[in-house]
């Protein structure tokens, strides 16, 4: 494979220099149009899938349009976390051996790296490796619209490789914590704090009791953590508050433990601390934990063998943040993550891409795909 970093950066620039937050459908659509043209150029069939007007399109791309099963599913996301105007404020720039810009490594670099890995792969060209590539539009908000499609496609694939960025230290990702976000609403009764305090029912007092109870559910040893991260409530200092709200973050390694937490929260809602309060528990997002199975361990060994042949030092990380690999792994499909070039600073103005890692990581992915084809 002949590789030109200048050519790669030229192709990366228009993908970074567009506002494509999850709730910016037109920006994600612009990225989708760009990616579609790249894949059509190398003979792949591209199918556009629109699951909601709230977000942009998803892309299902394959070299085997009539296949009932795929040898591998490659996955990435086209959306970022940044608001409109960010791309104009800080477009792609290169400084030494680093590139910077919104979404440069999370995950435009990985989206493009998949195309580079496939375009010169003989096993993909001759059909001995049946590939499906899924690019979704809503990963940064938990993939609420694309999740079912991703899981259904993964179930038709022997394994899943996700091109989120490799860590700055070179590690890939073999496990990820699960996560959930809860909105808990507290309804009380308003009254005058000076003249009729006893007639009121304080939603904030109920929220305070819940905060303490939630803190007691944390199990650091097991890796189950909860955080009451956002709260609001009340209308005035002299009014007993009739409404309050908390947004709670849950992270976990054990999916059964997460369901236990969910049941505990709902049981608390059935028996409020403050008489007269009513509590509503809404689980807004949920990603199951990604844990390696025996088949995943075999896939890890395959990746390590290819890396050793190429003289590329790699390692494996158990990450706290989630990705779409959480969903595919929970569906029973061997899944690994971190196949994009190395980077860091994600979701911040300091986000960076390590340019020296781009070609080696593309070659690693090519080698893994070739080995999968040989394995049959």
Which residues are catalytically annotated?
79, 139
Q: How many CB atoms lie within 10 A of CB 204?
A: 19
Residue 100: partners with Cβ closer than 8 Å, 6 or more residues away: 90, 92, 93, 94, 350, 351, 352, 353
99 beta partners: 94, 353
The closest of 345, 285, 293 to 165, measured between CA atoms, is 345
Pairwise CA distance, residues 99 & 354, whole Å: 7
243 beta partners: 187
Pairwise CA distance, residues 218 & 176, whole Å: 18
Residue 36: partners with Cβ closer than 8 Å, 6 or more residues away: 46, 48, 59
SS3 label, residue 99 = strand
49 beta partners: 58
Pairwise CA distance, residues 336 & 314, whole Å: 13
The radius of gyration of the chain from alpha carbons, rounded to an integer in Å, stands at 23
Q: How many CB atoms lie within 10 A of CB 188?
A: 25
Pairwise CA distance, residues 38 & 71, whole Å: 22
Residue 38: partners with Cβ closer than 8 Å, 6 or more residues away: 11, 115
Peptide bond preceding 158: is omega within 30 degrees of 0, i.e. cis?
Answer: no
DSSP state of 141: G
At 164, list the tokens.
């989120």
CA distances from 294 to 42, 254, 333 (A): 35, 17, 11
């Amino acid at each position: 494979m002949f590789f030109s970093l200048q050519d790669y950066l030229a192709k990366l620039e228009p993908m970074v220099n567009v506002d494509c937050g999850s709730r910016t459908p037109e920006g994600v659509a612009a990225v989708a149009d760009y990616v579609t043209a790249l894949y059509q150029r190398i003979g792949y069939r591209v199918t556009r899938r629109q699951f909601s007007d709230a977000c942009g399109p998803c892309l299902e791309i394959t070299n085997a349009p009539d296949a009932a099963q795929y040898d591998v599913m490659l996955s990435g996301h086209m959306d970022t976390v940044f608001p409109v105007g960010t791309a104009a404020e800080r477009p792609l720039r290169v400084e030494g051996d680093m590139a910077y810009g919104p979404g440069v490594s999370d995950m435009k670099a990985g989206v493009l790296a998949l195309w580079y890995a496939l375009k010169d792969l003989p096993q993909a060209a001759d059909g001995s490796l049946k590939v499906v590539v899924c690019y979704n539009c809503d990963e940064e908000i938990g993939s609420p619209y694309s999740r079912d499609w991703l899981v259904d496609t993964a179930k038709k694939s022997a394994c899943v490789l996700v091109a989120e960025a490799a860590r700055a230290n070179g590690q890939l990702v073999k496990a990820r914590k699960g996560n959930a976000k809860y909105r808990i609403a507290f309804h009380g009764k308003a009254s005058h704090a000076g003249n009729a305090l006893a007639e009121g029912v304080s939603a904030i007092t109920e929220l305070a009791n819940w905060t303490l109870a939630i803190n007691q559910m944390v199990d650091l040893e097991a890796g189950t953590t909860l955080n009451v991260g956002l709260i609001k409530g009340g209308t005035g200092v002299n009014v007993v508050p009739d409404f309050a709200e908390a947004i709670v973050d849950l992270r976990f390694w054990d999916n059964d433990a997460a369901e236990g937490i969910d049941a505990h929260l709902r049981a608390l809602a059935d028996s409020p601390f403050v008489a007269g309060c009513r509590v509503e528990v809404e689980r807004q997002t949920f990603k199951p934990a990604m844990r390696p199975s025996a088949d995943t361990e075999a896939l890890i060994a395959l990746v390590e063998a290819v890396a050793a042949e190429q003289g590329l030092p790699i390692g494996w990380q158990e990450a706290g943040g989630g990705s779409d690999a959480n969903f595919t792994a929970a569906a029973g499909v061997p899944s690994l993550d971190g196949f994009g070039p190395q980077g860091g600073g994600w979701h911040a103005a300091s986000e960076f891409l390590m340019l020296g890692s781009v070609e080696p990581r593309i070659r690693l992915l090519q080698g893994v795909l070739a080995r999968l084809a040989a394995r049959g």
